[in-house]
Amino acid sequence: MNEYSIHTDALKSYVPKLSAGDTVYLSGTVYTSRDAAHKRIMAALHAGEALPYPLRDAVIYYAGPTPTPPGLSIGSCGPTTSGRMDAYAPEMLDHGLAAMVGKGPRSEAVCEAIIRNGAVYFCAVGGAGALASKCITACEVIAYDDLGCESVKRLTFYDFPLTVAIDCHGGNLFHT
């Protein structure tokens, strides 16, 4: 297993080097999107409307942070179960999504789309949202404010620890 420090701007060039089980310390721009936001993003995509963020080369974190306490960048921000986004993920990957961050296994359709599109699925440690928030230096709501904690946010990660769970070559920690 290897360790990498990667900025989101360079992630696509690293994806072919990553293998299931590798550790990645990710820095850069990451967007939160969960169930309700995915539904709206897909509706906008199908209607030809502007999206809250460009899908090409984007990294999505399946998270709904708690309110931000005074003096901090963000509240607790742990991953949610990724399988709830499986209905949307293949099409988003086909539109250029580079990576997803969450917890738990993915459907076969998502695994195939990861391989087909040269993408990656990272897992973050569940149950450690307060600790994870220490690796997030900025948080801004950019869309769907009415969704509360599930609004779309632009986060800035700094050395956020992740494990490559599904790589672009078909390696899958949930199958090994």
H/E run at residue 138: strand 136-143
Q: Where are the domains of the chain?
A: 3-162
Angle at 164 between CA 24 and CA 153, to 5 degrees: 70
pLDDT > 90? residue 29: yes
Residue type present at position 16: P
| Per-chain mean pLDDT for the chain | 95
* pLDDT digit string, tens, across residues 100-123: 999 999 999 999 999 999 999 999
- Band the pLDDT of 128: cuts 50, 70, 90: confident
| CA neighbours closer than 13 Å in the CB half-sphere of residue 91 | 11
Contacts of 164 (CB under 8 A, 6+ apart): 18, 19, 20, 21, 22, 23, 24, 120, 121, 122, 171, 173
Helix boundaries (H) for the chain: 11-14, 35-47, 89-94, 108-117, 129-132
pTM of the model: 0.96
CA angle at 39 for the pair 78 and 112, rounded to the nearest 5° = 75
CATH (residue range 3-162) = 3.20.130.10
The pLDDT tens digits for 35-73 are 999 999 999 999 999 999 999 999 999 998 888 889 889
Query: Of the listed 7, 38, 169, 175, which one is catalytic?
Result: 38
Q: What is the pLDDT of residue 174?
A: 95
Between CA 88 and CA 82 the distance in angstroms is 11
Task: Give the pLDDT band of residue 168 (cuts 50, 70, 90).
Answer: very high
Would residue 38 show up in a list of annotated catalytic residues for this protein? yes
| pLDDT tens profile 84-100 | 999 999 999 999 999 99
Q: 1 or 95: whose pLDDT is higher?
A: 95
Identify the CA nearest to 12 among candidates 46, 55, 51.
55
What local confidence, expressed as pLDDT, does residue 126 receive?
78
Whether the Cβ atoms of residue 152 and residue 53 lie closer than 8 Å to each other: yes
